Amino acid sequence: MTVRIVFDSHNLVYKPGETITGKVVVSANGQSGGMQHTGLRVSLRGSLILSSKGRGARSNSVLDSLSKAERTVSILERSKDLLSPGRLIGDTMVDFSLQLIPDGGSGGRGELFETYHGNCVSIEYVVVAEMNRTGLKRGFRTISDVIVHKPVQRPDGGGEGSGASSASGGLDGGDAIALDIRPQTVGWGSGFAGGREVPDFAIKGRIDSSRVDLGRPLTGELWIEKGPPVEVIEVRLIRREVVSTSDMNVKQESEAQACEIVTGDIARNVKVPIYVLLQRFLVCPSTSHTMFDVSFFLSFVVRFADGKTEEAVYNTPIEIFRFYES
């Protein structure tokens, strides 16, 4: 006996307001005389999960476990009965449709958010098919994840079918970010001792836009004007999550992804392209809500080849959106 969910969509990506359609397939093969059941139900559930220490954080003691708070807020719940109580024989396929519309409760403030798996903030959507059986017989339940994207209009008014595009790969409506990485503009690694001699260096460049589209790469370029040999220049995308509820007040920064754009020393004043694809699920549109905020900044990390100087770190904020495809 098995229960499966088969979706009509091949990529399981949906937008708010769309309808999720598919079939629940119940196989009662091998059940002599069929299988008695008390009903088949399909549900669409969306959850906002807030955690004080990160969902993946490991607790080193009982006190750590007790101090870790986690709160789940329902932002969407739709259910539909597909079969009345009866008996099934062989394979049965039942069509279903569930609309992606938020609940009107105060927790989600009547809105949906993009699928996201962060440290302190996670947003998940699942379709659940459940078949209960009579008496003490164990029922059957299967869960499938679906992905929600929440695009917005481009600042120039471009949108679905508008044909708007950006040849640079940077985002419409955002200004280019100038990079000016030198001793006076960077922070240093935690092992850096004050008063130590720092190298004289200058790294220049730009990010094509301060607004980054999740559907396009983050692009730009940089070059080394002067300085000692470098070992690595790395660009990291850092997410800043803030949880603010009656029982939690948390602010945490974590690395969402990293990309080495320079490995080994390079000739001075030679432009190096920056081309970074943003990772699915680990990055979402910049979001501000009464219960949580998710924002992002780029961190350029420079390690020098001498092995003695601490990492130089240069930060610059960005905004992340998901725009309608051109």
Helix then strand then coil, in percent of the chain rounded to 5, is 5, 50, 45
Q: What is the pLDDT of residue 68?
A: 60
The SS3 call for residue 61 is coil
Pairing of strands 19-27, 2-7: antiparallel
pLDDT band at residue 202, thresholds of 50, 70 and 90? very high
Q: What is the pLDDT of residue 91?
A: 86
**Is the per-residue pLDDT at 168 higher than 50?**
no
The Cα-based distances of 140 to 40, 135, 143, 204, 225 in angstroms read 9, 14, 11, 60, 65
Across the chain, what does the average pLDDT equal?
Answer: 86
CA angle centred on 185, ends 296 and 234, rounded to 5°? 55
124: closest CA among 112, 111, 134, 115? 115
Domain 2-148 has CATH 1.20.1250.20: no
CA dihedral 253, 256, 262, 265 (to 10 degrees): 40
Q: What is the pLDDT of residue 174?
A: 76
Residue with tokens 């509820």: 245
Cα–Cα distance measured from residue 172 to residue 314, given in angstroms and rounded to the nearest whole number:
25
Q: Quick one: average pLDDT of 44-66?
A: 67
The CATH code of domain 177-321 reads: 2.60.40.640
Q: Quick one: average pLDDT of 226-239?
A: 96
Cα–Cα distance measured from residue 285 to residue 279, given in angstroms and rounded to the nearest whole number:
12
Task: Give residues with Cβ within 8 angstroms of 15, minimum separation 6.
Answer: 100, 148, 149, 150, 151
284: closest CA among 273, 294, 274, 275? 294
Task: Give residues with Cβ within 8 angstroms of 193, minimum separation 6.
Answer: none
The H or E element containing residue 317 is: strand 312-321
Q: What is the pTM of this model?
A: 0.84
In percent, the amount of the chain with pLDDT more than 70 equals 84
Q: Give per-residue pLDDT as tens, 66-124.
A: 446 789 999 999 999 999 998 888 888 999 999 999 876 444 457 899 999 999 999 99
The SS3 call for residue 62 is helix
In the chain, CATH 2.60.40.640 sits at 2-148, 177-321
Burial-class residue 126 by CB neighbours within 10 Å (0-12, 13-18, 19+).
Answer: middle
Q: What is the pLDDT of residue 241?
A: 97
The SS3 call for residue 65 is helix
The SS3 call for residue 289 is coil
